[in-house]
């Protein structure tokens, strides 16, 4: 293969072979699940007969399980020193949870529906921190050996976005926004089982319990105060994003009278791919906190577009801002957390990000958002959410100044 002036690194950075390819395939099928649960969990709940406030509460509880559940699973993964068994378990949880939600039970009671949703949340939200920890371990090991330095977290994670987009186009083709509870549940179950099968191709990047215990003794250290500040900033950003994640499909169908909700989700997903690919270099040049600050102000702008420009064109503009709001935000958050936890607690660090930094704020945002939507409509829903985004931006500027001293 010919090599350019940079030794071929620019070309090699985007090629995926060997273990890189296997991890990329795992991300593809993982986020294909999110391509159903993200846009259509709200539709599933509506099909079961719940109103806006109840949908917001149930989705908030779904996110709340994403706090404690991943923390417990990640502790188990760190102690086990292996990631794949936990990932297979989460995929099976997600698949089994759909059975009472229209597949075997046509009209589940509130208790049955809630129990099934919590099991689904444990599976779906538990996948990401364990998978992220596995990939960070893999890429860190490759960098230590000076192998494939260009294929970091962002590049591999971008393949997950391709899986998300592929699922969105499939659901758009089948008009899943008008699907029954049983139909949506079947899509969630099917995508979860595909992920479970893909996991058998995934290499194990853990190093076993004995090596983990040795690293805990060697690398143990106290909690970095900057970690708390960073989690607060990330949490405020996710609080601001909660109305988009929980109600955008309903916004598109009810307020914009559009039947292209999946296509609009796909616009956002496509916008994040180039950001994920270049994020590594931007983080190296500017630092993770500066990019988190940029993402925070972009979230405020995006929410303002939805509130003040309620049209399909406005929605497209807002979705394109996903480049900053998620494409740069996520790898920057992962890089920030990874730099402030011991390597022996990598899965736990990713669970802190997923649970404390993202899950709890999403719970609050979804719960409050449902009540605000009932009282004030979509303009009020998106309008109030700009406040935590602006607060995150302000605190991040203080954190950047503090770090520069």
pLDDT band at 209, cuts 50/70/90? low
Total domains in the fold of the chain: 1
Instruction: Look over the chain and give the mean of its residue pLDDT values, rounded to a whole number.
Output: 84
Q: pLDDT above 90 covers what percent of the chain?
A: 42
Range of the domain at 292: 16-403
DSSP string, 310-347: -SHHHHHHHHHTHIIIIIIHHHHHHHHHHTTS-GGGHH
DSSP code of 343? G
- Residue 384 or 143, more confident: 384
Residue 4 domain-assigned (yes or no): no
pLDDT (mean) for 191-196 = 97
Residue 150 domain-assigned (yes or no): yes
User: b/e map of 253-277 (b: 16 or more CB within 10 Å)?
Assistant: bebbebebbbbbbbbbbbbbbebbb
Q: What is the C-alpha to C-alpha distance for residues 389 and 391, in angstroms, rounded to an integer? A: 5
Q: What is the C-alpha to C-alpha distance for residues 256 and 310, in angstroms, rounded to an integer? A: 7
Kindly give the interhelix angle for 153-173 and 329-338, rounded to the nearest 10 degrees. 140
Question: Residue 310 in contact with residue 362, Cβ under 8 Å?
Answer: no
Residue 2 domain-assigned (yes or no): no
pLDDT for 351 beyond 50: yes
41 SS3 class: helix
Q: What is the C-alpha to C-alpha distance for residues 363 and 368, in angstroms, rounded to an integer? A: 9
Residue 184 domain-assigned (yes or no): yes
- Kindly give the residue spans of alpha helices, DSSP state H, lying in 251-287: 261-286
pLDDT tens digits for 267-293? 998 899 999 889 888 998 999 999 999
DSSP string, 170-236: HHHHTTGGG--HHHHHHHHHHHHHHHHHHGGGS-----HHHHHHHHHHHH-----HHHHHHHHHHHH
Residue 10 domain-assigned (yes or no): no
Residue 122 domain-assigned (yes or no): yes
Question: Residue 350 in contact with residue 130, Cβ under 8 Å?
Answer: yes
pLDDT band at 115, cuts 50/70/90? very high
Residue 125 domain-assigned (yes or no): yes
- Residue 82 or 10, more confident: 82
Here the CATH number for the domain that contains residue 81 is: 1.20.1250.20
Residue 7 domain-assigned (yes or no): no
| Maximum Cα–Cα distance across the chain | 65
Give the global pTM: 0.74
DSSP string, 191-209: HHHHHHHHGGGS-----HH
User: Quick one: pLDDT at residue 245?
Assistant: 86
pLDDT tens digits for 47-103? 998 888 888 888 878 877 767 777 777 778 777 878 898 899 999 999 999 999 988
Q: How many CB atoms lie within 10 A of CB 115?
A: 14
């Amino acid at each position: 293969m010919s090599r350019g002036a940079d030794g071929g690194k620019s070309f090699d950075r985007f090629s995926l072979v060997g273990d890189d390819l296997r991890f990329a395939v795992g991300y593809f099928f993982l986020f294909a699940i999110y391509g159903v649960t993200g846009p259509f969990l709200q539709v599933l709940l509506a099909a079961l007969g719940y109103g806006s406030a109840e949908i917001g509460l149930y989705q908030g509880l779904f996110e709340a399980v994403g706090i404690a559940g991943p923390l417990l699973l990640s502790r188990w993964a760190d102690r086990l020193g292996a990631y794949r068994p936990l990932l297979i378990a989460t995929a099976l949880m997600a698949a089994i949870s759909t059975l009472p939600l229209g597949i075997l039970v046509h009209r589940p009671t509130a208790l049955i529906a809630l129990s099934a949703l919590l099991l689904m949340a444990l599976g779906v939200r538990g996948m990401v921190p364990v998978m992220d920890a596995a990939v960070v371990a893999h890429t860190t090991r490759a960098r230590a050996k000076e192998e494939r330095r260009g294929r970091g977290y962002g590049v591999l994670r971008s393949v997950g976005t391709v899986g998300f987009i592929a699922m969105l186009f499939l659901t758009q083709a089948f008009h899943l926004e008008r699907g029954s509870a049983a139909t949506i549940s079947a899509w969630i179950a099917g995508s979860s089982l595909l992920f479970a099968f893909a996991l058998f191709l995934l290499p194990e990047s853990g190093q076993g319990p004995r090596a983990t215990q040795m690293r805990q003794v060697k690398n143990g250290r106290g909690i970095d105060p900057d970690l708390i500040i960073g989690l607060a900033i990330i949490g405020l950003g996710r609080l601001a994003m909660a109305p988009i994640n929980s109600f955008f499909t309903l916004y598109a169908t009810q307020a914009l009278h559009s039947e292209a909700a999946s296509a609009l989700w796909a616009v956002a997903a496509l916008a994040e791919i180039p950001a994920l690919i270049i994020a590594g270099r931007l983080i190296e040049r500017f630092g993770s906190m500066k990019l988190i600050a940029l993402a925070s102000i972009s979230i405020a702008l995006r929410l303002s577009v939805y509130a003040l420009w309620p049209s399909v064109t406005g929605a497209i503009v807002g979705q394109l801002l996903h480049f900053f709001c998620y494409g740069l935000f996520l790898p920057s958050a992962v890089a920030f957390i990874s730099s402030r936890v011991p390597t022996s607690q990598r899965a736990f660090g990713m669970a802190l990000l997923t649970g404390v930094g993202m899950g709890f704020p999403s719970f609050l945002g979804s719960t409050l958002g449902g009540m605000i939507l009932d009282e004030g409509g979509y303009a009020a829903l998106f309008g109030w959410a700009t406040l935590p985004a602006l607060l995150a931006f302000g605190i991040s500027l203080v954190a950047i100044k503090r770090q520069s001293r």
